[in-house]
C-alpha cells in the first residue's frame, strides 16, 4: 500500500511485453488511455448513425436529387424508378438521421435537404473517391 495504485494494469503489461521497456510501456499506456478517455461513445454512435444513413447508393441518389430543391415522394420514386414503399422507407431513414426535412402539404410529403453539413459531406465523399476511379 504505497506509491502507485496500478501494480498490474493489463494494458501496461500488454505494452511492456511489446516494447520490452516497462517505463516506455507505462508512458505509452498513459497516452493511449488519455486518447481513449477522450472518446465519447454516445457521440460516436450518433455519428455512426449519420454515416450509416448515407451508406446506401439509393439514399445518396435521393440526396443528390434534393440538392436542386424540394421534391415529393412520387417525384423521387418516379425519377429513380423505385417502388413507393422502398422510397418512403429510405426517406424515413434520411429523416431520422436528420439529413432531410419533411413538409406536409395536403396529401403530399415534400422533402428537402436539411440546412447544414449534408452537402459538404457529399462533396467531401466525392473528393475522397475521385482519387480512386476518376
Partner DNA sequence: CACTCGTATCAAGCTAATTCGATATATAAG
Partner DNA sequence: CTTATATATCGAATTAGCTTGATACGAGTG
Residues that bind a second copy (CB under 8 A): 11, 14-15, 18, 28-29, 32-33, 35-36, 38-39, 41-52, 54-57, 60-61, 64-65, 68, 74-75, 78-80, 98, 116-118, 120-122, 124-129, 131-133
Q: Binding of DNA at residue 44 (CB under 7 A)?
A: no
Task: Identify the residue whose cell numbers are 417525384.
Answer: 75
Indicate which of DNA, a second copy, none lies near residue 8 (CB less than 5 to 8 Å, by partner kind): none
To a second copy, the closest distance from the beta carbon of 73 in angstroms equals: 11
C-alpha count within 13 angstroms, C-beta hemisphere, residue 45: 3
Lay out the site mask for DNA across 3-42 (x = CB under 7 A, - = otherwise): --------------xx------------------------
100, 92 Cβ separation under 8 angstroms: no
On whether the CB atoms of residues 110 and 100 are closer than 8 A, the answer is no
Q: Which is nearer to DNA, 3 or 18 (CB)?
A: 18
For residue 69, state whether it binds DNA (rule: CB under 7 A): no
User: Which positions touch DNA (CB under 7 A)?
Assistant: 17-18, 52, 55-56, 58-59, 72-74, 82-86, 88-93, 102, 106-110
Amino acid at each position: 500500500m504505497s506509491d502507485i495504485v496500478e501494480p498490474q494494469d493489463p494494458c501496461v503489461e500488454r505494452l511492456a511485453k511489446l516494447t520490452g521497456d516497462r517505463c516506455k510501456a507505462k508512458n505509452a499506456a498513459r497516452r493511449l488511455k488519455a486518447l481513449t478517455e477522450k472518446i465519447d461513445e454516445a457521440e460516436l454512435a450518433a455519428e455512426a448513425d449519420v454515416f450509416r444513413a448515407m451508406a446506401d447508393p439509393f439514399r445518396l441518389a435521393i440526396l443528390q436529387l434534393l440538392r436542386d430543391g424540394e421534391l415529393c415522394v412520387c417525384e423521387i420514386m418516379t425519377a429513380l424508378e423505385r417502388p413507393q414503399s422502398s422510397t418512403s422507407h429510405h426517406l424515413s431513414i434520411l429523416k431520422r438521421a436528420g439529413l432531410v426535412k419533411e413538409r406536409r402539404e395536403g396529401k403530399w410529403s415534400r422533402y428537402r435537404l436539411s440546412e447544414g453539413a449534408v452537402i459538404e459531406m457529399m462533396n467531401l465523399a466525392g473528393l475522397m473517391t475521385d482519387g480512386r476511379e476518376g
